[in-house]
Amino acid sequence: MTEIEEENAATIENLNRPDLMAVTSKLITHLDKKSIAGRLQDSDVEKMRDSKTRLLIEAIKTHGSLLRDETLDNIEARLKALEERGS
C-alpha cells in the first residue's frame, strides 16, 4: 500500500462500515510503516502529519458512533413495528 491518498470531500457521501474498515486499515498500515521508518527529517512536517492523523482517528470514531446510532435507531423502529403488529 502507498501513502494515504487524499480524496475530494465532495465526492464522499455516507461512509458505511466497510468504507470505515478500509480507511482504518490504510491508516494502520501507514502508521505501522511510519513507526518502522522513523521520523521525518523535518519535525514540523512530522508534527503536522501526526496532528492530521489524530484528527482522522477522531473523525473515524465519530462516524462510527453515528453509524452505530443509526443502526440502533433502525433496530428500535423495527422492534416497535413488530410490537405494534403483535398487539
Please give the Cα distance from 66 to 69 (Å, whole number). Answer: 5
2-52 per-position pLDDT tens digit: 444 566 656 657 778 888 888 888 888 887 777 667 666 778 888 888 888
Give pTM, 2 decimals. Answer: 0.58
As to burial, measured by CB atoms within 10 angstroms (0-12 exposed, 13-18 middle, 19+ buried), residue 52 is exposed
pLDDT at 2: 44
Closest to 34 in 3D by CA, of 23, 22, 45: 45
78 versus 47: which is more confidently predicted?
A: 78
20 exposure class (CB count in 10 Å sphere: 0-12, 13-18, 19+): middle
